[in-house]
Amino acid sequence: MHIFNKKIIFSSLVVLIASTFELTAAIKDGFYVEGTSSAVFSHQNFEHAIFMPDEDLNPANKNSHQRLGADFGLGLGYWYRLDSSRFVIGPHFHAAYSISNVNYRPDDSQNQKHQIQMPWTLSGSARFGYIISENCLLYGLAGIKTKHLRYTIKDLDNNEAPLARKKQWTYGLMLGAGLEYAINKYQHRIGVEINTTLYNSAKIKGSMDDIPYQSIISNKDLQLKLAYIIPF
């Protein structure tokens, strides 16, 4: 009788373990959404050229600035598993909002402050992954990232009243890698990703004659992203 009970208990445990393993095993095909928070380290190079009407540009002076900011975003993607193998591919789209900016004064303009804001970031990439264990996925990515650039020149002698503004999008090539891990039977996953982007140079020119500046801004950033992923 005791032997019979032990067999029943053992069989029940095997069924329970097997069922749990089947539910949480490997990344499945399909769409997923993710909520993200990121730490972003950016490096900006600014080249300022002084100009006046009917005059040639004077030699540019250069400034470099770094920022450590925080981004919060949402992503949408799709994983397609290749012929029941461990390889997966798929597109990924992401939008984020940043809460940081850069403030600086050019060396030749002590009564003005230049402010760079980059509130919105959009990206699209192709991901190539490999399922390295039953619940763990390693992937690489390559894509395009675009950032909304807001450039403002403020007058320090007039309560920082804006003298000129310029808004534009700047684009860059993004490369990165990430890791995802399934944490429950519903295939919810947590992930970490690191990527870097090199943007094209943005040319900013003052919109008023009394703003004698033309700025060329080049920017690159390094992002560490944490994600909570929900398939559907």
pLDDT digits 0-9 by tens, 96-116: 998 877 776 665 556 777 777
What pLDDT does 87 receive?
94
What pLDDT does 27 receive?
65
Total domains present in the chain: 1
CA 219 vs. chain centroid, Å, equals 14
pLDDT band at 18 (very low <50, low <70, confident <90, very high): very low
pTM for this structure?
0.75
Of residues 76 and 186, more confidence is placed in 76
What pLDDT does 83 receive?
85
Give me the CATH number covering residue 187. Answer: 2.40.160.20
**pLDDT surpasses 90 at 169:** no
Of residues 66 and 5, more confidence is placed in 66
Give the number of residues written for the chain.
232
pLDDT band at 11 (very low <50, low <70, confident <90, very high): very low
Local structure of 109: helix, strand or coil:
coil
CA-angle at 25, arms to 185 and 126, nearest 5°: 100
Of residues 107 and 200, more confidence is placed in 200
The upper half-sphere exposure of residue 170, i.e. CA atoms within 13 Å in the direction of its Cβ, equals 24
Mean pLDDT of the chain: 77
Domain that holds residue 84: 2-231
C-alpha distances (whole Å) from 48 to each of 91, 138, 211 are 39, 43, 12
pLDDT band at 93 (very low <50, low <70, confident <90, very high): very high
What pLDDT does 193 receive?
96
| Distance (Å, whole) CA 167 – CA 48 | 17
Beta pairing class for 112-117 and 87-98: unpaired
What pLDDT does 45 receive?
74
pLDDT band at 17 (very low <50, low <70, confident <90, very high): very low
